[in-house]
Structure 1
Amino acid sequence: MKITTRIPITLLSLFVVAGCGEAGGLEAFSNAQLTAVKQRYASVVYSSYKDSLDKATALKSAIDAFLAAPSAAGLDAAKAAWLDARTPYGQTEVYRFYGGPIDDDKGPEGQINAWPMDENYIDYVEGKPDAGIINNPTQYPTIDKATLVKLNEAGGTSETAISTGYHAIEFLLWGQDLSATGPGARSYEDYLTTQDATAPNGDRRAAYLAAVGALLVDDLQSLVDAWAEGADNYRTTFVALPPHVALNRMLTGMGVLSKGELAGQRISVALQTKDQEDEHSCFSDNTHNDIILNATGVENVYLGRWASETGDSLSMLVARLDPALDERIRHELAASITAAKAIPAPFDAAIADDSKRPLIQATVDALQKQADSIVDVAALFGNENLNTDIDD
């Protein structure tokens, strides 16, 4: 159920090789037309990562201001900045699953958005007041970015020993979610070092929050750099790819996020277990928005859209080759977003409520349906073997 899933090399090779024998319907287009679609995709990726970086930088500023003078208002401002930062990033997860900069062997995805996490790896939880890196100065005397990177996933030995990323920040802001109807309720006084402190090691907790916020900015900057125009980077490599290879990568991200990841690991697993620990943003109760944003990201790629701007797109190609398929997938993408918006908040309460669970299942069904149509698009372009599942 871990969000840092990577596509095995053998499976990734299948995505590429399957389209190498023939370009299918792509022969109907000029090289200039296909290059324009690749360039537009690269522009969308860059813009969305740049917006994510800008919001993360604002989050870091809010964190720094809070830590300089801890207060309830300062903590609320940092929480608001975290929620704001999730909006662009949630729409970028569709760029995963094909070995791009986010999740190749050196990609930062595991440091940015890994979950689920054992929160007691970082800090205290109910019944374990001395748990976590923060409360163990003997073993972890220094808390800085390098230390947190080294400790993430316990050096690669535990997928839930998460020490970095959005969800580490989320936990440090909200604290453990012990409510059935609301988010975590960490006090700003956890960050005090005076007798008013509600937990020991407030100075180390502050150092941790500052370091993990700064690391998030660093990691997002690396993605912006990878997709920047006019550089010797991944973007240049991507735009130079044969069209069928580049389009397969785009469709792989769309298909795997739709079915294997979002419909499967992020929603269906939580529906099956009814366990709060299986929801994405469990400390802030922001999971319902995560789902909407992920689904929106898939639609963005198909339409060549970021914010209010659109351009040359997969949709334009499909509409020329098979107008009915284009109309169908457009409808299905919109239907998935509509279904996601109907999921009641908080998600952890909804998965345990028999009257609300059908609304969540409807989103799963819609996402799986659109994934099937994404497979049809791949076939239209000459790839009969697009895989939309996650190989555990």
Structure 2
Amino acid sequence: MKLSILALGALLLAGCNKEIIDPQNTAIGSPGYNAAGLLANTANTVMVANYRDLDQQAAALQTAVGALAAAPTAATLDAARQAYRDARLPWENTEAFAFGPVSTLGLDAVLDTWPLNRVDLATLLASADPLTPASLARLDGGLQGYHPVEFLLFGKDAGKALADFTPREYQFLAASAQNLKANTARLLNAWVPGGGNFAATLATAGPGNAVYPKQKQAVQELLDGLTGPADELTNSKIETPLAKQSTEYEEAEYSQNSKAEFTANLAGIENIYNGRYGSAGTGAGFGALVVARNPTLDARFRQEVADAKAAINALPGRFDQAIIQNPAAVRAAQAKVRTVLNTLQNDCAPLVNAL
């Protein structure tokens, strides 16, 4: 009798307007919504493809830095600097899904801690301590990852000359690039079959899944991932250096790569929303949920992201120049990014909450 009452209650709930994620293969547009295809495509093709690209670019950076250390010339320095810029873009894409192993394994901290502690870096370089991948891996995260490499390659305001490099700096750069590559490999391995296979964990959200026992939890994770870089870009990466009128608060201060990294953040949002990473991914992304529930919102959001990318790219000169010389243009671009953030928070979030 108790089971009958519970069953009756379930039927009554199903008859209400509240939308639920159906754990079965219910078609999009029915009273329930099955997110299995969305989650599987996003995890197995988009996210894994992004992490694979990240690891490949880290390998290219390791090779370029090794070549610079072995034969310092203007050409090898230019190549290493470009390899650094290239390696940053897939990382900035991944900020649209900064959950799972990148967090639980502490890899975010050892890849992208910022601001750089230049005092501790100078102390290390002035010491006789070993500079090997193994020794660096034992250091505080602030002395690992992208930003020490960036600072030593470019110097303050990207003004470092080849004559300014020291043997210890070359040694540190080579070891640091190897350490960075090892960590991107760990991150990729955590997502793929044969490793941690977190892609399968995300793709199979639902009953029996220890991390995401409900599909709604995984879809909420995607939304939180999309919201994170939009929020950080609006309220930190752009706002802080602009409000303080100082490049000291610019994350890509040394490489002067801010505009490219900002647009990579937005491209990462597009990738998860569209369910594609370059040529990878042909199925549903987060946008499949949006278009199924509100096609007008879907079209508007896609345009808002495109407008935000265009506004950042249109900033005159470098970002560090624009915050001083054209703050109104930076504010206008920031407003475009804030529109993306507001749509995610105010219009997309209710769609997930209603599942």
Find the partner of 1:95 among 82, 89, 97: 97
Cα distance in 1 for residues equivalent to 2:23 and 2:198: 27
Residue 337 (structure 2) pairs with residue 367 (structure 1) = yes
Residue by residue over 1:327-347, the C-alpha shift from the partner in whole angstroms, topping out at 9 and shown as x without a partner, is 221121111111121223321
Residue 244 (structure 2) pairs with residue 273 (structure 1) = yes
TM-aligned CA distance change 1:210 to 1:302, over 3 Å: same
Between structure 1 and structure 2, the one with the greater Rg is: 2
Residue 250 (structure 2) pairs with residue 250 (structure 1) = no
Paired amino acid for 1:358: A
Paired amino acid for 1:90: E
Please name the residue that 1:289 is paired with.
Answer: 260
TM-aligned CA distance change 1:29 to 1:300, over 3 Å: farther
* 8 Å Cα contact 2:117/2:143 also seen in 1: no
Query: For structure 2, which runs of at least 5 residues remain unmatched after alignment?
Result: 1-16, 28-33, 206-213
Find the partner of 1:165 among 145, 168, 171: 145
Secondary structure of the 1:250 match is helix
Cα distance in 1 for residues equivalent to 2:26 and 2:108: 32
Measure how far apart 1:381 and its partner are: 2.4
Find the partner of 1:210 among 139, 151, 174: 174
Where in structure 2 are the equivalents of 1:37-48 lying within 5 Å?
Answer: 37-42=38-43, 43-48=45-50
RMSD: 2.2
Measure how far apart 1:147 and its partner are: 3.0
Please name the residue that 1:311 is paired with.
Answer: 283
Residue by residue over 1:177-207, the C-alpha shift from the partner in whole angstroms, topping out at 9 and shown as x without a partner, is 2xxxxxx22222344xxxxxxxxxx332122
Cα distance in 1 for residues equivalent to 2:69 and 2:323: 35
Cα distance in 1 for residues equivalent to 2:23 and 2:175: 52
Cα distance in 1 for residues equivalent to 2:354 and 2:100: 19
Higher helix share: 2
TM-aligned CA distance change 1:337 to 1:234, over 3 Å: same
Where in structure 2 are the equivalents of 1:29-178 lying within 5 Å?
Answer: 30=25, 33-42=34-43, 43-96=45-98, 99-104=99-104, 106-123=105-122, 132-137=123-128, 141-153=129-141, 162-177=142-157
TM-aligned CA distance change 1:347 to 1:29, over 3 Å: farther
TM-aligned CA distance change 1:204 to 1:323, over 3 Å: same
* 8 Å Cα contact 2:153/2:160 also seen in 1: yes
Cα distance in 1 for residues equivalent to 2:318 and 2:115: 17
Paired amino acid for 1:34: A
Query: For structure 1, which runs of at least 5 residues remain unmatched after alignment?
Result: 1-21, 124-131, 154-161, 178-183, 192-201, 385-392
Q: Taking structure 2 as the reference length, what is the TM-score of the superposition?
A: 0.84
Measure how far apart 1:44 and its partner are: 0.6
State the identity %.
30
Cα distance in 1 for residues equivalent to 2:106 and 2:354: 26
Cα distance in 2 for residues equivalent to 1:28 and 1:358: 49
Paired amino acid for 1:212: S
Q: How many residues align?
A: 322
* 8 Å Cα contact 1:52/1:89 also seen in 2: yes
Cα distance in 2 for residues equivalent to 1:24 and 1:212: 50
Where in structure 2 are the equivalents of 1:211-250 lying within 5 Å?
Answer: 211-229=175-193, 232-241=196-205, 242-250=214-222
Paired amino acid for 2:100: G
Paired amino acid for 2:322: A
Please name the residue that 2:13 is paired with.
Answer: none
